[in-house]
C-alpha cells in the first residue's frame, strides 16, 4: 500500500509552546489529507480536512486558531498545535487519500504522533 510518513512520533512539550506535526505522502500525490485525534481506547475523531492549496475545513468544535493546518503541496500537510495545554495531549494521526474516484479510493494513515503537554 501507499506510504504516509508522519513526524515526529512522540513529542513532550511545556504548556504554552507550539508543536508542529508533519505528514507526507511518499509515493503518491494526495490532494486531500485528514487530521484525526484519538484518545485511549476511543475511536478516531476527525479534526479537519486539508486540501492542497486551499484552507482546511474544520469539524464542528475544533478551534481553527488553535490547530493550524497547512497543505502547501500535494505531498505535505502540517498541523501546528498552538499554545498547547495539557488537555491537548493526545494521539494525532494524519491520513491521505489515494485514488481519484470514490470506487477505487483508499485512505492511508501516518504512524501517528503522541503529544504530551506538561
Partner 1 sequence: QKEVEQNSGPLSVPEGAIASLNCTYSDRVSQSFFWYRQYSGKSPELIMSIYSNGDKEDGRFTAQLNKASQYVSLLIRDSQPSDSATYLCAVDGGTYKYIFGTGTRLKVLA
**Residue 17 vs 116, nearer CB to partner 1:** 116
Least distance in Å: CB of 83 to partner 1?
26
**Residue 32 vs 70, nearer CB to partner 1:** 32
CA distances from 23 to 7, 37, 86, 118 (A): 7, 14, 23, 24
Least distance in Å: CB of 100 to partner 1?
11
- Exposed e or buried b per residue across 27-47, where buried means at least 16 C-beta atoms within 10 angstroms of its C-beta: ebebbbbbbbbeeeeeeeeeb
Q: Alpha carbon 75 to chain centroid distance? A: 13
**Residue 17 vs 29, nearer CB to partner 1:** 29
**Residue 3 vs 83, nearer CB to partner 1:** 3
The residues binding partner 1 (CB under 8 A) are 1, 6, 32, 34, 42-44, 46, 49, 91, 93, 97, 102-112, 114
Amino acid at each position: 500500500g501507499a506510504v504516509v510518513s508522519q513526524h515526529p512520533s512522540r513529542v513532550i512539550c511545556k504548556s504554552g509552546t507550539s508543536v508542529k506535526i508533519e505528514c507526507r505522502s511518499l509515493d503518491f500525490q494526495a490532494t486531500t489529507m485528514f487530521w484525526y485525534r484519538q484518545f485511549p481506547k476511543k475511536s478516531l475523531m476527525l479534526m479537519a480536512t486539508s486540501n492542497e492549496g486551499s484552507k482546511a475545513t474544520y469539524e464542528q468544535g475544533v478551534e481553527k486558531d488553535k490547530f493550524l493546518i497547512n497543505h502547501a503541496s500535494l505531498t505535505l500537510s502540517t498541523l501546528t498545535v498552538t499554545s498547547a495545554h495539557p488537555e491537548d495531549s493526545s494521539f494525532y494521526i494524519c491520513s491521505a487519500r489515494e485514488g481519484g474516484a470514490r470506487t477505487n479510493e483508499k485512505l492511508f494513515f501516518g504512524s501517528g504522533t503522541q503529544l504530551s503537554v506538561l
